[in-house]
Structure 1
Amino acid sequence: MAAASDAAPHVLVVPYPARGHMQPLLDLVSLLASRGVRLTVVATPATAHLLAPLFAAHPASVRPLSFPSSSSDHDASGPAPVGADIHALAAALRAPLGNWLLRSQNTGGDSSVAAVLSDFFCGWTQPLAALAGVPRLMFAPSGLLATAATHSLFRRAPGPPIGDAGRAYAVAFPDLPGAPAFPWRQISRMYRSYAEGHGGEHADAIRDNFLWNLESAGFVCNTCHPLEGAYLDARPLVDLAGKRVYAVGPAVSVDANDDESLKKDDDVTEWLDAFPDASVTYVSFGTMMVPPPPHAAALAAALDRAGTPFVWAASTATLPNGFEDRAAEAGTGLVIRGWAPQAAVLRHRATGCFVTHCGWNSVLEAAAAGVPVLAWPVAADQFFNARIVVKEARVGVAASWAGFGAVPDVEHLARLLTDVVVGEDGAGVRERAKTLAVRVAEAVGEGGRSRRELDGLVNELRDLAGRRQDNSP
C-alpha cells in the first residue's frame, strides 16, 4: 500500500459555466495537474471550447466527465438571473453527477475520488459529496472580502432599508477586519432581490447555495496576501464558518514571458508598440457590463479631453457617432469589438491606466501587471473589489461609486485620467501599482505565500487520498 505522501489524489471538479468563473478554476486545475493531482472535470457542450486547451495540455492527468444532455448545455454568461442559472445547472446535473460519484466511491481504486472541488455557485454539490462521504472544497473566483461578505449576507440576513432610511442605510460586516460597511445599493442585486422578496421561485436556491457552501471542508480562493493580507491574516473568518482558506492566487501565470497572447503578432500588440511606456489607457467593463450610451459618451468625451491614447474593449457598447472613426483616423484610439486580449494589453509596456468595472479577474490582472486602476464598479462583487483597489491597496482611484446609476462629470473623468496616467497627483498610485506587481510575482514564485498555499492544498489532497486508501478493504 502506498504511503499517504505518495498517493496520487483524484479530484472531481465542477465548474459553473460562466467564463469569468470557469477560467480561474481551470487555471487552478492546470496548476494542480502539474503537481501530480489527477482531476476529472465536469464538461457540457456549452463549456467544451473552454475545457479543450486544458485537456490538451494535461492529457494524462485531466479528463472530462461529459454530460451531453441538452438540459445541461447551458452557458451562464448570458442575461438570465443567477438564481435561474444555479437552479438549472443543479436540476440538470445533480442526479447523474451524484450517481457517478457514488459509483466511483463504491468501485474504489483509481476511480475513487479524494475530494470534490466546485465553484461557489455550485453549493448543491455539498450534499452530494456528503452523501458519498467525500469532502468538498469550495472554489471562490472572487476575492476573499467579496466571498466572505457575500456569505455573511446569507448567514446573517440583514434586511433592506425601512421607511426614510434610503441612501443613508448601509450594511456593516462586523466580523470582518475593520468592520467595512457598504450602502444598500452597492450590495449585490442577487442578495437585495432576495432580502426585498423579489427573488421569485429561485430565491430559496440562492440562499441554500451559500448556506451549503458554509458546510464545505474548506475554501480555495483566487487571491493573494499582497492584495488581501488583512483578511487572510484574520482567519479563521466567522463569515466563512471558520474553515480553512487556501489563498492560491493569482492562479493564472503572472509572468509576461508565459503569456501566449503577447507572443502573437496581433493587431493590438502592434498598435500599442507605437506608443511610449505607460501612456495608453485601456478601457473594459468586461463581457457582461455594457455602459449605457450616456455613460459611454461621458467616458469618450473624457478620453478626448484628456488626450490620452486608448484601447477600448467595447463589446456591444454604443459609442458616440463618429468617435471610433475619428480615433482610428488620428491613430490615438483603438476600439475592439468582441474578444480582447486583456492580459496582453495590461502587460504591454505602453499601458498606463485601466478603466475597469473591477471584476475580480480584472483586478488580479491589473495587479500582476502593475497597472493603476480607474475604478468604476457596477454590480455583483465589484464594489467590494473596488474597495480593495482604491481604499486598501491604494493602487487606483474611483471614477464613480454610482455604477451606471448616474453619469459622471466629463471634466472630473478627464482630470482623473490625466492624474492616473501622467499627473503628479497620481504618482503615488502609479508607484504603489508597480510595487504591488513585484509583491504578487513574489507571492506566486518559489517559496512565496501563494505557492506555499498551493503546496499546502496539494498536500491536503494527498493526505485525503492516502487516508481513503488506508480505509479501503
Structure 2
Amino acid sequence: MAETKDHQRAGHVVLFPFMAQGHLAPFRCLAALLRRCRPDARVTVVATSSTAESIRASLAADGIGVHALASGTSAGSIGSSQQLIDLFLAAESLRPAFHRFVADLRRSDPGVSVHVVADMFLASTTSDVAPDDPGVTRSVLLTTGGYGAALYFSLWDSVPLVPDDDECFRPRCFPDVRVHRSQLTDHLAAADGGDTWSTFIRRQIAAFSRADALLVNTAEKLEPKGLSMLRQWLNNVPIFPVGPLLRTAMPEETTGNSPSRSPILEWLDKQPPGSVLYVSFGSHYTISTRQTTELALGLEKSGHRFVWVIRPADDVNGGEQSLGLPEGFVERMEAAGRGLVACCWAPQVEVLAHEATGAFLTHCGWNSAQESLASGVPMIGWPLSAEQFYNAKTMAEDMGVCVELARGVAATVARDEVAGAVETVLGETSSVRAAMRRKAAEAKKVIEAAREADGHESSVEVMRRFIDSMEELHASQK
C-alpha cells in the first residue's frame, strides 16, 4: 500500500547534486526517501556525463532515473581550497544544459509539475530555471546540518570578518555566537567580499532567499538550535528537516554472516564491546606527516584499541612508506593485537554499528557525524575545513557527544593530547565517558525515530509535507 494519499498526476522531482561523494551520498538517500513516501512520483537525478553511469547503477533498483547533462565537469580530486572553488565554478557551467533539460520536461508533458531540488552549491545555477513557468518549483538541499549551515553561510554573509581582542568573530545575523580564528578556513578568514570565494558563496546565499523551500539533512529534535538559527536567518523560506539522509548498516555485515565480509569487521569481532576507537578523516581529507606521527604515537601511548583507516599524508608522494607512520608502529600494534591500520576503503556505517566500536576520531563531516550518532557512538573531533568546525562546535557544546582534539590542517597536535582525548572517551575511569555515551544514545533514539515511517517529525512525513506544499504552490499559480 502506498504511504501517501492518491494524486491524479504526481509531480516530477528533479534532483541536482554536486558531484562529490559527500554530496552525492545524501542525494541518493533523498531519492530513496522520495520513492518511499511518494511511489507515484517520477524521480530523476541529474549528473555529469562522467558520473552518470555509476549513479545510474546505484539507483536502478529503486526505479530512479538518471539524466546526464550534455556538458559538464567531474568531481575530480578535492584538495586545496583553490581546487575546490574551481570545481564549484565549473559546476556552474552546467546551467544552460540543465535549463534546457527542465524546459524539455515541461514541453513533453505540460500537465505534470516539475520540482527541482538542487545542492546548496548549485543553488544559483537552478534558482532562475523556467522563471515564468508556474509549473516549476525550485528548492535547495543543505547536505550539512542546520547549525553548521547557519554558521558557515552567515559568516560568509558577514565578510570581511573583523576580529575582537580575543581573535573571535561574530556573524552579523547571530551576534551572540562567537567563532574563533582557529575555526575558520584560510579563504574565509582572508575573504574581503570581492574575492572569488565570497562572490560564489554569496550567489548561493541569494538563491537560498529566493527558493520555494530549503531542505536540511537533519532532524528537528536532533538539531533544534541549528534549525531555529536557519529559520531566523531565512525567515521567508519554508524549511523542511528531511534527515538524517543516511544509509542503513547491513545486518549480515555487522553479524558476521557475509562471505565477502570486510577484514576490518572480522578484526572487530575479536575485540571487547565498546573498546575500539575508529579513526578516519573521510574520503577527501588527509593530515601531514608530522600530525600522522603524533597521532600514531598518541594512539600507542593511550593503550586503547583502535582501527585506523589511513590515506597517504598530504605532504609526501606515493609509495608504501608515504603514510607518515613511525617506524615499526604497524608491526608493534598488530603484534600486540591492539591496533589495525587499513589502507583501503572501509564499510564505515557497519564499523560504527559494530558492538566493539566505542568512539570515533573524525574530521566532523556531517555525513560521518550523523553515521556515528545513528549508532550511538561518541566522537573525538578534529575538524579540517568548511562547516566541520561548526559541526564539532555544536556536538561538543550543545549535544555533549564530542570532545575536540584539534582544529584545522595546520594544527599542532602532541601525542600526549591524543592519548588524553582517547582516554576521555574510552577510559573506564573517565568521568566524561558515561555522559557522552548516554547523550550519544539519546541522539541515536532521535535518529531512529526520524527514520521511522510514521510520526509528525519522521523524515517520511516531512518529505511528504514538502512535496504536498510544492504541489499546492503549483496549483495556486495556475
> What is the TM-score with the length of structure 2 in the denominator?
0.87
Output the CA distance in 1 between the equivalents of 2:253 and 2:221: 22
Task: Give the distance between the partners of 2:403 and 2:219, measured in 1 at CA.
Answer: 21
Q: How many Å separate the matches in 1 of 2:255 and 2:234?
A: 37
Give me the whole-angstrom Cα distance separating, in 2, the residues matched to 1:222 and 1:206: 19
Residue matched to 1:418: 423
State how 1:26-37 maps to structure 2 within 5 Å.
Answer: 26-35=28-37, 36=39, 37=41
**Aligned residues: CA RMSD:** 2.8
Structure 1 residues without counterparts, runs of 5 or longer: none
CA shift for structure 1 position 173: 3.6
Amino acid at match of 2:188: Y
1:373: Cα distance to partner?
0.5
Tell me what 1:14 maps to.
16
Distance 1:139 1:65 in 2: 19
Alpha-carbon distance change, 34 to 442 in structure 1, aligned in 2, over 3 angstroms: closer
Taking the aligned partners of 2:412 and 2:168, their CA distance within structure 1 comes to 22
Residue matched to 2:120: 120
- What is the aligned partner in structure 2 of residue 370 from structure 1? 376
After TM superposition, give the deviation of residue 213 of structure 1 in Å: 2.3
How far did 1:409 drift? 2.7
Q: How does 1:42-81 map to 2 (within 5 A)?
A: 42-48=46-52, 50-59=54-63, 62-69=64-71, 71-75=72-76, 77-79=78-80, 80-81=82-83
The aligned counterpart of 2:97 is 96
**Which of 234, 237, 242 matches 1:240?**
234
Q: Describe the shift of the 1:210–1:196 C-alpha distance in structure 2 as closer, same or farther (beyond 3 A).
A: closer
Q: What does residue 82 of structure 1 align with? A: 84
Q: Is the 8 A contact 2:362 2:381 kept in 1?
A: yes
Q: Is 1:195–2:192 an aligned residue pair?
A: yes
In the TM superposition, residue 386 of structure 1 has moved relative to its aligned partner by 0.4
Q: SS at the partner of 2:334?
A: helix
Partner of 2:251: 257
Quick one: distance in 2 between partners of 1:370 and 1:422? 17
Which runs of structure 2 are paired with 1:54-453 in the superposition (5 Å)? 54-59=58-63, 62-69=64-71, 71-75=72-76, 77-79=78-80, 80-91=82-93, 93-109=94-110, 112-123=112-123, 124-133=125-134, 134-155=136-157, 157-161=158-162, 168-173=166-171, 175-176=173-174, 179-195=176-192, 199-200=195-196, 203-232=198-227, 234=228, 237-254=231-248, 257=251, 264=258, 265-317=261-313, 318=323, 319-400=325-406, 402-423=407-428, 424-425=430-431, 426-448=433-455, 450-451=457-458, 453=459
AA in 1 matched with 2:447:
V
Native 8 Å contact 2:360 2:377 kept in 1 = yes
Superposed CA offset, 1:69-113 (max 9, x none): 4x434436454533321211111x111111121222233347x44
Cα separation, 1, equivalents of 2:354 and 2:249: 12
Cα pair 1:277 1:349 within 8 Å, conserved: yes
Return the alpha-carbon distance in structure 2 between the equivalents of residues 30 and 283 of structure 1.
29
Pairwise CA distance, 1:377: 1.2
User: Aligned AA for 1:301?
Assistant: L
Cα contact 1:14–1:118 (8 A) shared by 2: yes
1:417-439 CA-to-partner distances (Å, cap 9, x unmatched) read: 12211333222112221222122
Distance of aligned partners of 1:435 and 1:469 in 2 relative to their CA distance in 1, 3 Å threshold? closer
Amino acid at match of 1:408: V
Q: Look up the SS of the partner of 1:81 in the other structure.
A: helix
CA 154–261 in structure 1, closer or farther in 2 if over 3 Å, else same: farther
Deviations 1:220-265 (A, max 9, x none): 1111134311233x37723224311111111224566397997642
* Distance (Å, rounded) in 1 between the aligned partners of 2:417 and 2:77: 36
Secondary structure of 1:121's aligned partner: helix
Distance 1:470 1:382, change over 3 A: closer
2:295 and 2:254 mapped to 1: Cα distance?
31
The amino acid that maps onto 1:89 is A
Contact 2:277 2:358 in 1 (8 A): yes
Q: How many residues align?
A: 455
Distance 1:49 1:392, change over 3 A: farther
- Seen in structure 2, the aligned counterparts of structure 1 residues 19 and 263 have a Cα distance that, compared at 3 Å, is farther
Moved more, 75-84 or 138-147: 75-84
1:149-177 deviations in Å (ceiling 9; x for gaps):
2332344x232347xx57x232224645x
Gaps of 5+ in 2: 314-322
Is the contact between residue 309 and residue 341 of structure 2 (CA under 8 Å) also seen in structure 1? yes
Deviates more, 1:408-417 or 1:461-470: 461-470
Q: Deviations over 1:428-463 (max 9, x none)?
A: 112221222122212222434542x54243244245
Cα distance in 2 for residues equivalent to 1:117 and 1:229: 23
Structure 2 residue matching 1:195: 3-state secondary structure: coil
Q: Which has the higher contact order (CA 8 A, sep 6+)?
A: 1
Tell me how far apart the structure 1 counterparts of residues 300 and 378 of structure 2 sit (CA, whole Å): 20
Q: Name whichever structure is richer in helix by fraction.
A: 1
Q: Which shifted more, 250-259 or 442-451? A: 250-259
Measure, in 2, the Cα distance between the counterparts of 1:211 and 1:445. 34
Structure 1 residues 345 and 74, CA, compared in 2 at 3 Å: closer, same or farther? closer
Cα separation, partners in 2 of 1:74 and 1:415, compared to 1, 3 Å: closer
Q: Is the 8 A contact 2:365 2:391 kept in 1?
A: yes
Deviation at 1:467, TM superposition (A): 6.5
CA distance in 1, matches of 2:252, 2:127: 35
CA 1:188–1:267 in structure 2 vs 1: closer, same or farther (change >3 Å)?
same
Distance 1:195 1:398 in 2: 29
1:67 maps to a residue whose letter is L
Looking at structure 1, the residues matched to 61 and 133 of structure 2 have their Cα atoms a distance apart, in angstroms, of 30
- Farther-moved stretch of structure 1 (139-148 vs 241-250): 241-250
Identity %: 27
Question: How far did residue 190 of structure 1 move?
Answer: 4.6
* Partner residue of 2:467 out of 458, 461, 464: 461
